[in-house]
Structure 1
């Protein structure tokens, strides 16, 4: 794979991941109680644990997106 092919791939991966993060945030904002009820059927979670898990998960996804896709994409734009 050449650098000219890698740059759009990284860009699209970043956009897709940001879309997933946005979808997760909106779903959590709108249907937090429903999601909590579903998760507590499977796991013994308190509300603070549930919120912390989702908050950390969103942060991890954002950090992974930054490290794995956005930063390499910016580096490729600089060396072009």
Structure 2
């Protein structure tokens, strides 16, 4: 596999991961109460704890996208 194919792969992976992050944020923002009730059936989470867990999860996911997709993509793009 050549570097251009790997670079393209990382670019598409970054786009797919940002789409997942966007869907997650949209579901969290638009269906917050329903999600809280759903998770409340399984776990005893306060509203503040629920929000904290989701925001932290989104932050870690975004950092993962940056570290594992965008930085290697940028390095391979600069190597061209």
2:26 aligns with 26
2:14 aligns with 14
SS at match of 1:50: helix
- Would you identify which runs of 4 or more consecutive aligned residues in structure 1 move more than 2 Å? none
Unpaired stretches in structure 2, ≥5 consecutive residues: none
Q: What is the 5 A alignment of 1:57-68?
A: 57-68=57-68
RMSD value, Cα: 0.6
Return the TM-score normalized by structure 2. 0.97
Unpaired stretches in structure 1, ≥5 consecutive residues: none
Tell me how far 1:5 sits from its aligned partner: 1.0
Tell me how far 1:2 sits from its aligned partner: 1.8
Q: What is the 5 A alignment of 1:32-51?
A: 32-51=32-51
Alignment length (residue pairs): 80
Tell me how far 1:63 sits from its aligned partner: 0.2
CA distance in 2, matches of 1:50, 1:29: 12
